[in-house]
């Protein structure tokens, strides 16, 4: 058994890998630049910091691919999903977390493990010996990014954005209402901020004319759809936001008995409701413009901002041809990559790649045959997507389109999704028994 597996990066993927390896008796050395230094979008000294949102998307196992992926990971012993379950906050069918409690729990688990040694150090080159997991994310430090590109070639990139967080006490509840979409008012998962037609049109006008923060190399066509800045969406047409993050459907204002013309939703950042995330409002506006323009939403006219939205450049590997389905580097199989740097997109997907890498290393160290998840599971289909030749490789999140089709043709979408989930979970349970 090696002295230790070296993991570079203490994000979701790196922590998932470290905790899985340690739980199987394997020593780990985890390197991260925190808390002495930070990337442009990180603020906390804790590991596993959530940057863009506090939502890990749907928790619907039988009706949503990301919900199914989370259940697969639960069965496989995911420490990240377990921490998310423990620190969840109300968010309807989504698994949202108190991001401080979430990262604190994972950090404590990592630092208290007798098999994990944490080192505050910037790694500028891939360690030359032993098993290595590079989980430095899309904001890998320039020195290491340069070394990686010497091996993998120039890395493509896209732009990602985060939404603002506002003080719960500063929300004007005289002009807002509490309700879940198509649910009963008063449940408390979301605060809804309605706008009438005139207010909405004025908001769009000011949003389109607002000053944006300068980003070198920024191009609209390099923005990932799942994190499209609100001002970029607005430029696609006046009603784009009304059919996107400002969709009013299913949100009945108790004061009017009707759906508003447009509506902004706020989701709890913590159980106490001290802070709220502006759902879907990723942005690249300057901080001053965010405060000015977003205050045109009546319920946010006096909003206090705990964190403004930011935008950043994300690099990722052109993984097909470089990585195998277990996320190991084909040219040097002792080296694994994990997280968004591999071309998976999303919190859960990033953690899943760290889990796959850790399982592969564990089985190799113990002299067992490799595990194949196949394309009938979401976790396996994601890894196969990353490893399969693709002339137009783009970051991918969990979805039913990457799963192998069923043996029978089922037209009912709900029934089909349930059958896909049942097939997947049966496979994962079999794999779990072998591990």
How high is the pLDDT of residue 389? 87
Structure tokens at 274: 């001290």
**Residue 25 φ/ψ region, left for φ over 0, alpha for ψ in the -120 to 50 degree band, beta for the rest:** left
What residue ranges define each of the domains in the chain, with the CATH number in brackets? 5-156+316-434 (3.50.50.60), 165-312 (2.40.30)
The whole-number average pLDDT for the span 281-292 is: 93
Tokens 């939502």 appear where?
A: 55
Kindly state the average pLDDT of the residues 295-314.
Answer: 89
Q: So what's the pLDDT on residue 225? A: 58
**What pLDDT is attached to residue 432?**
95
Q: Give the pLDDT confidence of 151-176 residue by residue, as tens digits.
A: 888 777 677 777 898 999 899 999 99
pTM of the model: 0.79
Give the pLDDT of residue 302. Answer: 94
Q: Decide: 431 and 371 in contact? Cβ < 8 Å.
A: yes
pLDDT bin (cut points 50, 70, 90) of residue 415 is very high
- In the structure, what pLDDT confidence band is assigned to residue 179 with cuts at 50, 70 and 90? confident
Q: For the chain, what's the residue count? A: 435
Radius of gyration of the chain, Cα coordinates, nearest whole angstrom: 22
Q: Can you tell me the mean pLDDT for 350-367?
A: 97
Alpha carbon distance 248, 271 (integer Å)? 25
Query: Which residue has tokens 């290595």?
Result: 132
Q: According to the model, what pLDDT value does residue 187 have?
A: 62
CB burial class (10 A; 0-12, 13-18, 19+) of residue 237?
exposed
Structure tokens, 141: 């430090």
* Strands 328-329, 332-337: pairing kind: antiparallel
- pLDDT > 90? residue 295: yes
The answer to whether residues 267 and 90 touch, using CB atoms and an 8 Å cutoff, is: no
Instruction: Name which residue leads in pLDDT, 20 or 282.
Output: 20
| Cα–Cα distance measured from residue 4 to residue 367, given in angstroms and rounded to the nearest whole number | 16
> 329 by DSSP, 3-state: which?
strand
CB contact at 8 A, 110 and 118: yes
């Amino acid at each position: 058994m090696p002295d230790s597996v070296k993991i570079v990066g203490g994000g979701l993927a790196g922590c998932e890998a470290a905790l899985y390896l340690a739980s199987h008796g394997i020593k780990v050395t985890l390197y991260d630049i925190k808390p002495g230094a930070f990337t442009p979008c990180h603020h906390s000294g804790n590991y596993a910091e959530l940057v863009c949102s506090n939502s890990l998307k749907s928790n619907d196992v039988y009706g949503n691919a990301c919900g199914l992926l989370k259940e697969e990971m639960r069965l496989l012993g995911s420490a990240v999903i377990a921490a998310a379950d423990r620190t969840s906050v109300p968010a309807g069918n989504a698994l949202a977390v108190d991001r401080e409690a979430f990262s604190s729990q994972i950090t404590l688990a990592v630092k208290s493990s007798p098999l994990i040694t944490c080192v505050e150090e910037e790694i500028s080159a891939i360690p030359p010996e032993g098993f290595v997991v590079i989980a430095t994310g899309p904001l890998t430090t320039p020195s290491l990014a340069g070394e990686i590109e010497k091996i993998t070639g120039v890395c493509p990139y896209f732009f990602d954005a985060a939404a603002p967080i506002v003080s719960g006490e500063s929300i004007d509840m005289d002009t807002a209402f509490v309700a879940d979409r198509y649910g009963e008012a008063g449940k408390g998962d979301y605060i809804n901020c309605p706008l009438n037609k005139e207010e909405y049109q004025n908001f769009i006008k000011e949003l389109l004319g607002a000053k944006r923060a300068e980003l070198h190399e920024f191009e609209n066509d390099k923005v990932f759809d799942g994190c499209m800045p609100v001002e970029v969406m607005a430029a696609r047409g006046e009603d784009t936001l009304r059919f996107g993050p400002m969709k009013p459907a299913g949100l009945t204002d108790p004061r009017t008995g009707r759906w508003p013309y447009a509506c902004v939703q706020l989701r709890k950042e913590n159980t106490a409701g001290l802070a709220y995330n502006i759902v879907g409002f990723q942005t690249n506006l300057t901080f001053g413009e965010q405060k000015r323009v977003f205050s045109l939403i009546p319920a946010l006219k006096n909003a206090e901002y705990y964190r403004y939205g930011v935008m950043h450049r994300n690099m990722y590997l052109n993984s097909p041809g470089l990585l195998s389905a277990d996320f190991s580097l084909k040219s040097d199989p002792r080296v694994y990559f994990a997280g968004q740097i591999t071309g998976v997109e999303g919190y859960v997907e990033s953690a899943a790649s760290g889990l796959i890498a850790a399982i592969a290393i564990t089985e190799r160290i113990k002299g067992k045959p490799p595990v194949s998840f196949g394309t009938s599971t979401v976790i396996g289909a994601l890894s196969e997507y990353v490893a399969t030749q693709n002339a137009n490789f783009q970051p991918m999140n969990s979805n039913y389109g990457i799963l192998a089709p069923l043996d029978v043709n089922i037209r009912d979408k709900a029934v089909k999704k349930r059958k896909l989930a049942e097939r997947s979970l049966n496979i994962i349970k079999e794999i779990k028994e072998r591990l």
